[in-house]
Amino acid sequence: MAANIAAQRIKREFKEVIRSEEVAKCAIKVELVGDSYTELRGEIGGPPDTPYEGGVFTLDIKIPDTYPFNPPKVRFVSKIWHPNISSVTGAICLDILQDQWAAAMTLRTVLLSLQALMASPEPDDPQDAVVAKQYKENLAIFERTARFWTSTYAGGPPADDDCSRKISRLMDMGVDRETACVALSTYNWDLERSTEQIFS
């Protein structure tokens, strides 16, 4: 019965998201996965004037049986370079998805909050310490890295040539693309230190 309330509410929310003006502007989108209302796939367009602009980020949304009394479980499927989102698992650190959840929130407000989080990171409450450190210590490099990840994993505008060249240098040595990308991003695109790290 509890699951039924969750499913019924998701059905109603669906209408809300589909009709909302954000969908018309292609900024957010929600789709069902399979025919139950417990698994959904969301999409967020990268906010303008951020390194995520032009990318489309896919989310994995799981609706618990106790919804809306407990928050949905949301995770990024597209890899993203952001202080509050794990670059490895896509796990999100956002209060409304944890203890600040309220039953009046909906999928639409969750997606809009995530979009707002992308536009203004909170490096002091990080999910990914490496990214947060880069954000605080070297904002220019952070933006370059985030833009590169948007281009590589979220279909953003073409990537920085210098970054791509360094990635292919590592790939020439037999390193796979993802390992190369993570190492270079972590070591501020310093080719020598990244190489050292990979082969040690």
- Does position 173 interact with other proteins (CB under 8 A)? The reply is yes
Q: Least CB distance from residue 108 to other proteins, whole Å?
A: 12
Q: Least CB distance from residue 36 to other proteins, whole Å?
A: 12
Per residue, what are the HEC states of 132-162? HHHHHHCHHHHHHHHHHHHHHHCCCCCCCHH
Closest of 146, 25, 7, 14 to residue 78, by C-alpha:
146
What part of residues 98-117 is at the interface with other proteins (CB under 8 A)?
Answer: 101-106
Cβ proximity to other proteins, 1 vs 140, nearer residue: 1
Q: What is the CB neighbour count within 10 angstroms for residue 150?
A: 26
- 35 Cβ contact partners less than 8 Å away, ≥ 6 residues apart: none
What part of residues 65-84 is at the interface with other proteins (CB under 8 A)?
Answer: 66, 68-70
181 a catalytic residue: no
- 85 Cβ contact partners less than 8 Å away, ≥ 6 residues apart: 76, 91, 92, 93, 127, 128, 131
How far apart (Å, rounded) are the C-alpha atoms in residues 154 and 48? 15
Active-site residue among 26, 93, 163, 181?
93
Per CB under 8 A, the list member of 3, 7, 9, 47 interacting with other proteins is 9
- Does position 1 interact with other proteins (CB under 8 A)? The reply is no
Amino acid, res. 67 = Y
Q: Which sequence positions are flagged as catalytic?
A: 93
Binding residues (CB under 8 A) for other proteins: these are 5, 8-9, 12-13, 15-16, 35, 66, 68-70, 101-106, 165-166, 169, 172-174, 191-192, 195, 199-200
